[in-house]
Amino acid sequence: MFRKGKYGKYLHIIESLLGFAVVNLAFLIATLSDKEVLGFRWKVTLLIVNVCYLPVVYYRARYPQGRALHLDIIAKNAIAAVGIHALFFFSILTFLDSWVDNMSFYLWFYGILVILLPLGWTMTRLSLKYFRRNGINSANAVIIGTGESAIRLRDAMLADPGYGYRFLGFFDSKPARPDAVDGYRGTIDDLERFMNLEPVNEVYYTLSGEDHETLRRCVGYADNHVAQFYYVPQLNQYVSRVSELSNIGKVPILNIRENPLKRISNRYMKRAFDVIFSSTFLILSPILFIPIAIAIKLSSPGPILFKQKRTGYLGKDFNCYKFRTMRLNEASDTQQAVREDPRVTRVGNFLRRTSLDELPQFINVWLGDMSVVGPRPHMLKHTADYSKLIDKYMLRHLIKPGITGWAQINGFRGQTEELWQMEKRVEHDVWYIENWNFFLDIKIIILTVIDVFRGDDNAF
């Protein structure tokens, strides 16, 4: 049986038409900034603007969004779409003589487009969620299996009525406790009879793939009833989430460790932000650096900057810079600072409490050793010690270390007196790596600034 609603089937067409409408609206508004955009140039440019949206339509078709509404993904896709459009648009204009050459027009056009495009996509998705909540475009789904994966899948389907799933039941020939599974419909033999009586759109197989005969039977049931068949990998014992499915030749490969920064586009975006942010700060830094440097020199003998080997990206060492906050001592590379540490000077105590001692690390960011946001870099001795004590500790080095991070704004900073404190840091660092997006970085930066002005008891 075919799915009842047409909205899911035609969603891409609706979003594509909406995209063309947004492009033309943005063009129309942008022309108001340049009264001279008239005549033949106006017509040619408008034609090119629309033609260059076709690659965006293709891009959206290649990467479907699924049933869930993720605003961060919509925003990221909108930025990517505008980038694709601009790439094709200016590439074509390079070979033409008759085109609008007013830069303010293009700034207005792409500025409006980057706002209206995600807004339009979001409204489309919200409309679709509304229809699904009212039973339109719902997908009738059955789950084969009654194990942990099956229960989690059922709960995820029913978590939001806007997903549009209508769960019909579980089927399993060897359920552990059929009476304890809410929604158990029968054995796999009962599945085909059930599908003859009830329209089923999607079949989810959560049993082991080693039972080839059962798997083939279930695929056959789905094919015979024009239902989409999905195989759910049994990976719960290894990881909590799967990143993506790829192929080497014709062999499917599952990536079991989410790392958005493996994508080159995300790395370039993060690096571009780091360069712009650190360059801007370093240009303005003398306002802070000069008085801090004078205060450090007056407080105790020694250099202004403290240079220390830290563990960085992929476990490689780098020189991390900080304002010197301690008197010169031999244990600075092995012993972590503690509350009321006698090695810390009076000026150093102020710098640590306000996190001003970390400011020279913007030099590391500019050089490419660090990022503005990321897991905090640790001393080499700490890396050697904790890597033996904490599972997944080294995963925090999958990306560049940062001046601030997800662990820090969640209260895990300063002295680590017990092992569980470092374990929580690592847990937050790994979560950040697996869930990175540009807007998460902005959020962390804003919360860090708030913490600096509010004060943090763990900073000493």
Is residue 431 within 8 Å of 406, Cβ to Cβ? Answer: yes
The most confident of the ranges 230-244, 408-422, 439-453 is: 439-453
Residues with Cβ within 8 Å of residue 160, at least 6 apart in sequence: 68, 129
Q: Using one digit for the tens of pLDDT, what is the confidence trace for 265-311? A: 889 889 999 999 999 999 999 999 999 999 998 888 889 998 999 99
pLDDT at 148 over 90: no
Residue 59, pLDDT above cutoff 90? no
Q: What is the percent of the chain with per-residue pLDDT over 70, rounded to a whole number?
A: 83
- Residue 34's φ and ψ, nearest 5 degrees, are -140, 95
- Helix (H/G/I), strand (E/B), else coil: 207: coil
Domain extent listing, the chain: 11-133, 139-234, 264-454
The band of 179, judged by pLDDT with boundaries at 50, 70 and 90, is low
Mean pLDDT of 28-53: 75
- Burial letters 411-445, b for 16+ CB under 10 A, else e: ebbbebeeeeebbebbbbbbebbbebbbeebeebb
At 72-118, the pLDDT tens digits run 677 778 888 888 888 888 888 777 665 556 677 788 888 889 898 88
pLDDT in tens, 356-389: 889 999 999 999 999 999 999 999 999 999 999 9
Cβ neighbours of residue 434 closer than 8 Å, sequence gap 6 or more = 241, 257, 258, 259, 260
Q: What is the pLDDT of residue 336?
A: 63
Mean of the per-residue pLDDT values of the chain: 83
CA 413 vs CA 352, 420, 426, 428, 458: distances in Å: 12, 13, 11, 11, 6
Fold held by 139-234: Rossmann fold (3.40.50)
Q: Residue 164 — very low, low, confident or very high, per pLDDT cuts 50/70/90?
A: confident
Buried b (16+ CB within 10 A) or exposed e, 362-375: bbbbbeebbbbbbb
For residue 213, give the amino acid letter.
Answer: E
Model confidence at 56: pLDDT above 50? yes
In contact, 365 and 278? CB cutoff 8 Å: yes
pLDDT category at 5 given cuts 50, 70, 90 is very low
pLDDT of residue 3: 40
Picking from 52-61, 383-392, 446-455, which range would have the lowest pLDDT averaged per residue?
Answer: 52-61
Find the range with the poorest average confidence among 253-267, 316-330, 335-349: 335-349
What is the percentage of the chain residues whose pLDDT exceeds 90? 33
The CA-CA-CA angle for residues 393, 402, 433, to 5°, reads 50
What confidence score (pLDDT) does residue 40 get?
56
Average pLDDT on 160-174 reads 85
